Structure 1
Amino acid sequence: MNTQFLNFMLKPITLACAIALPAVTQAAPASEAEVEQMRAELKALKTMMQQYVQQQNSLSANLAEVKAKSESVAVQASTPAMKAEGLSLKTKGGAELNVYGNVRADALYQSEGGSAARLYNQISSVPLEGNGESSDRLKASLAATRLGLDFKTPTQAGDVGGKIEVDFLGANDTLRIRHAYLTYGDWLIGQTWSNFAVPDYMPETIDALGYVGGAVKRTPQVRYTYKFDPATNLVVAAEDSKDDSSNMRLPALTARLNHKFSDTFAVSARAMGTEKKTDADTETAWGVGLGAKLDLTERTVVKADYYHVKGDSSFVSWANLGFVVNANKDIIDTNEFDSISLGITQQFSPQWRGTLGYGYMKADENNSYINAFSDKTKINKELWQAWANVFYSPTKPISLGLEYVYGEREAFGAAPNGSTKGEDNRLNAVAMYNF
C-alpha cells in the first residue's frame, strides 16, 4: 500500500473519532470509565496506524536498495572484465579473446661457450679446448619476449578454441610463430609442442632453449586425444618433423600415453616412427620416451625425462645428424642415442624458488656412421650439462632469475692439438614482466 495514502487517511480518521467522541457522550450518558476506555482505544488505534506507516516506509526503502544493486550488477556483467590471466575481450566474430605474454630481458656472462652471437644453449657445438674458444663474453637479448592470444567461440556443437603465440627468436631476431592452432572437441590442428618431444618433464631453466636431455620441439600436426578416464588419456598425432636432412613424404606418427597415479605423481610414455627419405633411398627412424613428475611435498617437485632414438635428429635437441649418405644419396647408416634429464625444484617461499638439474646424452659408437664424417670433431660421443638457478618474484607479475651452468661435449674425433672436449661455462640472468 502507498504510504502517502495511509498518512492522508490517518488524519481524517483520527479527526472523525475525536468529533464523534463528544457526540457519543452527549447522546448516551456514559460513565467516566467508559469515556476513558474509548479514549485509550482511540490512542491505541492511532499508534497502530503510525507503526504500520513506518513499516511501509522501511519496506519501500529496502525495495529501492535491492533494485539499485540489481542494476549495478547488470551493468558490471555487461562490461568487459580485466582478468588475472590477461585482458578478456570479444572479437568481431563473437569469440572470447584473452591476451597474455611477457617482456623478457636475458643476459649472460660466458667464461667458455659457443661462438654464435645468440646467447642460448650451444652445447653440441662449443669449440674444443685450445681451438678458437669463445671466452669471456657478455651477451644480452630481448628476443625471447612473447605475445599470445587465446580464442574461444561457443557453438551449438561445443566450444571451438584457438591460440596464436609468437616471439622474436627467428633468424636475426625476427618474429616467429611458436604456437598457432585450433581445437574442436578432442581434435587439435596446427602447430604446438610435439606429441613426442614434450617439455613437461624438463627441470626448470632460464635458458630459452633448455639443456641437454630435454626437448623444446614445436611441429605442425593433427592430433586426437582419447580419454579412458579422468586419470588416463592417449594422444596420437601425425606431425611434420621439420627435418631439413630428409625429403618428407609421410608425416611422423607419434603416440603418448599419460597417466596420473595420484595428484602428486604423473607419468608419460611416448613413441615415434617416421620415414627418412633422400632422392635415392629411404630408412625408418623411431624413438621412445618416458617422463615422470613427482611432488615430494607441497614445495618440492622432482622431474625426469628419458629418450632413446634411432635415425632421427629433429625431435630431441642437441643430437647428432640422424643419418648419413654417400655420394649417390644412399643412406649408409643411422645415429642411435640415449638421453636423460633430472631435476628438483624447491619453493622456498611465495617469492623464492630454485632448481638443481642435470642432463646427459650418449651416442652409440657406430663405426660405419662415424667414418662417414670427414671431420669427426663435429659429431659428439657424449654431452652433459649441470645447472643451478634461483628465481625471485618481488610481486606477482615480475620474475628475476640467476643461473649457473657448466657442461662439456666429447667429440668422436680429436682437434689438431689432440683435444676432444669442449666446455660450456656461463652465468645466465633474466628479468620478466608477465601480463
Structure 2
Amino acid sequence: MMKTNIRLIALLISAVISHAEISAQISLTRTKPEGQSNWDLYIKGLIQTDVMIDFQDMKLKDGFAAQSIVIPQHNAISSNFSIKQSQIGVGIEQKNSTDRLSAYIEIDFYGPNGTTAPRFRHGYLQWNKWLLGQTWSNFSDLEIFPNMFDFVPPDGLMFTRRLQWRYSTPLAKKSILSLSLEDPNIPSITLPSDSLNWKKRTLLPTFTALYRYGTEKNYIKAGAVLSPISYDMKYTSQEDYQARTIIGWGMMVSGKIHVTPQTILSLQSSFGKGYATNNSDLNEEKYDAVPNPSRGNALETLRLFNIVGICEHWWAPRWSSVIFYSYSKVGEETFIPKEMTREFRNFGFNIAFQPYKKVRMGIETNYGKKETFENKEAHAWRIQVSTALSF
C-alpha cells in the first residue's frame, strides 16, 4: 500500500510540474455535447509531507488536539513522519448555463489503525442553491481557517464534516443565509455502564442556520444548531425499551477583518449545551450528554464554551506567520464523570515560506493543556516541519 501511494504522489507531482499554467485546479477535459452546455472535469488537491516531534504522549499522532494529551504527564519525546494530510479531489462542473450543476469527491490518506489507506472526506452534488452529500457542516466557518500546516484547526473551532442537505441563498448584496438538515447520527453521548444496554437511537436530523454579512475579505457570521439526542432506556430486563429525546443547542459568532493589507485578525466564539461533537477536538468524544444518577441515569446535555483568536501577518510577499490562542470549557455539573476533560487550551505559532504560489514550507509549533474533573492535568508541545504542494 505504501509503494502504491508513493507512485500515486509521484505521478501527481509530475503532472502538476508539467502543467504549463498552475491554477487552483487542473482541468482534465472539457466537453460540449451537441445542443448542451460545457462540462469541465478537473482535479485538485494537496501533497504534504510532515515531520513531527512530540514532547509528551498523545493519542492523536497526525494532528494536534489537546483532548488527546495523555494523563499523567510523561514528558516523553517521540517523532512521526507523515503524508496523511495530503488530499486529492475530482470534480465535474457545468459551464455556461443558467443552471449550476456540479459534483465533487475527495480523499485523504488518514486511514484506520495508523495506516495511509485512502479515507473518504467529501462527496456531494450541488445544483443551484442546493447541496446534498458530505462536506463541512453548515455550523462551521471555513474562511477563518488560518495559513497553518496542521490539518487539525485550533481546538475551539466549530469544524467538522457532515452528511447534509443544505440550502443557501443571498438575502442582499452582502448577506447570505444557509440552512441545513444534517446527519441524525451526529450526537455523541455517554451511556451509563449499568444501563441494561441502553442504546443510542438515530431519529431526528440536526438543524443548522448560518448568516454571513460582509465582503470577501471582511465579514461576520452568526450561526445556530439544534441537535435532537435520542436514546432507548429501561430499568428492568422485563421492561420494553422507551425512547427519549432531549435537545442540544449551540450558538456561534465568527468573523474576520483585514486590519492592514498584511495583517488579518479572526475571532470565533461559541456556547450552548449538547453540541460538543461540532467542536473539532470533541468530535465523537461523547461530550454531548451524560447520565445523571440523581435522575435515574437519564441523560443531560453538557454546557460548552469556546473562544478562538487568530492573527495572520505577511512579513513579505513570500513570508508569513500565524499565531492563535484557543480556550474551551465544559460545564460544572457534579454528575459529569471525573475522568472527562473539564477545560483545554491550545496555542500555536508558525513561520511559512511560499517560494511559489502553490508551494509552502515552514515550521509550526503547538502547545496544549487539558484538565479533568478530578483535577488531573497534562500539557504537550509539538514541533512540525512541513512542505506542501497544492494544485
User: What is the TM-score of this pair, normalised by structure 2?
Assistant: 0.81
Alignment of 1:404-419 (within 5 A): 404-414=365-375
Determine the C-alpha separation between the residues in 1 that align with 2:324 and 2:98. Answer: 45
SS at match of 1:392: strand
> Residue 61 of structure 1 corresponds to which residue in structure 2?
none
Name the counterpart of 2:246.
283
Select which of 309, 319, 341 maps to 1:352.
319
Q: CA deviation at 1:404?
A: 1.4
In the alignment, structure 2 segments of 5+ residues that lack a partner are 1-18, 190-199, 234-243
Q: More helix per residue: 1 or 2?
A: 1
Kept after mapping to 1: 8 A contact 2:50/2:81? yes
Q: In structure 2, what is the Cα distance between the partners aligned to 1:309 and 1:318?
A: 16
Measure, in 2, the Cα distance between the counterparts of 1:255 and 1:395. 38
Q: Which protein has the bigger strand share?
A: 2
The answer to whether the 8 A contact 2:309-2:324 is kept is yes
What's the offset of the Cα at 1:318?
2.4
Name 2:149's counterpart in structure 1. 206
- Go from structure 1 to structure 2 and tell me whether the alpha carbon gap of 1:247 and 1:197 turns closer, same or farther (over 3 Å shift): farther
1:195 shift after superposition: 0.4
**299, 313, 323: which is aligned to 2:262?**
299
Q: Deviations over 1:76-131 (max 9, x none)?
A: xxxx9956223213367863112111211111111124145x2312311312344x
Give 1:166 deviation, angstroms.
1.1
Q: 1:195 to 1:335 in 2, by over 3 A?
A: same
Q: Of 110, 118, 122, which aligns to 1:169?
A: 110
Is the contact between residue 114 and residue 134 of structure 1 (CA under 8 Å) also seen in structure 2?
no
Cα distance, 1:311 vs structure 2: 1.3
State the number of aligned residues.
341
Residue type of the partner of 2:26? Answer: L
1:146-225 superposed matches below 5 A: 146-154=87-95, 158-171=99-112, 172-225=115-168
Determine the structure 2 residue equivalent to 1:323.
289
What residue is the counterpart of 1:397 in the other structure? Answer: 358
The aligned residue for residue 6 of structure 2 is none
- Deviation at residue 205 of structure 1 after TM alignment: 2.9
The aligned amino acid for 2:278 is F
**C-alpha distance 329-216 of structure 1, shift in aligned 2 (>3 A):** farther
1:282 Cα deviation after fit: 1.5
Contact 2:186 2:206 in 1 (8 A): no
Is residue 383 of structure 2 the alignment partner of residue 427 of structure 1? yes
The residue type paired with residue 323 of structure 2 is L
Mind listing any 5+ residue stretches in structure 1 that lack a counterpart? 1-79, 415-419
Q: After superposition, what is the alpha-carbon deviation per residue over 1:355-414, rounded to whole angstroms, capped at 9, x for unaligned?
A: 11000001121113x1xx2xx23x112111111101101222321021112121111114
Which structure has the bigger radius of gyration?
A: 1
Out of 121, 132, 153, the position equivalent to 2:64 is 121
Q: Distance in 2 between matches of 1:423 and 1:278?
A: 35
Q: 2:127 and 2:211 mapped to 1: Cα distance? A: 20
Corresponding residue of 1:139: 80
Higher relative contact order (CA 8 A, sep 6+): 2
Deviates more, 1:228-237 or 1:329-338: 329-338
Q: How does 1:226-241 map to 2 (within 5 A)?
A: 226-240=169-183
Matched, 1:106 2:106: no
For 1:160 and 1:329, the matched residues in 2 are separated by: 51
Structure 1 length normalisation: TM-score?
A: 0.73
Give runs of ≥4 in structure 1 deviating > 6 Å.
91-94, 326-329
The farther-off stretch of 380-389 and 119-128 is 119-128
Mapped pair 1:84 → 2:20: no
In structure 2, distance between residues paired with 1:96 and 1:344:
37
Q: How does 1:30-69 map to 2 (within 5 A)?
A: none
User: Residues 408 and 421 of structure 1 are in contact (CA less than 8 Å); yes or no, is this contact kept in structure 2?
Assistant: yes
1:340 and 2:307 are equivalent in the alignment: yes
Contact preservation (8 Å) 2:187, 2:288: no
Give the superposition deviation at 1:158.
1.4
Partner amino acid, structure 1, of 2:379: E
Take 1:84 and 1:151, find their aligned partners in 2: how far apart are those partners? Answer: 16
Compared with structure 1, are the counterparts of its residues 128 and 184 closer, same or farther at alpha carbon in structure 2 (3 Å cutoff)? same
In structure 2, relative to structure 1, the CA distance for the partners of 1:244 and 1:411 (3 Å cut) is closer
CA RMSD of aligned residues (A): 2.4
Secondary structure at the aligned position of 2:67 is classed as helix
2:204 maps to which residue?
250
Cα contact 2:207–2:227 (8 A) shared by 1? yes
Q: What's the % identity of the aligned pairs?
A: 23
What amino acid is aligned across from residue 48 of structure 2 in structure 1? Answer: R
Residues 298 and 176 (structure 1), Cα distance of their counterparts in 2 relative to 1, 3 Å cut: same
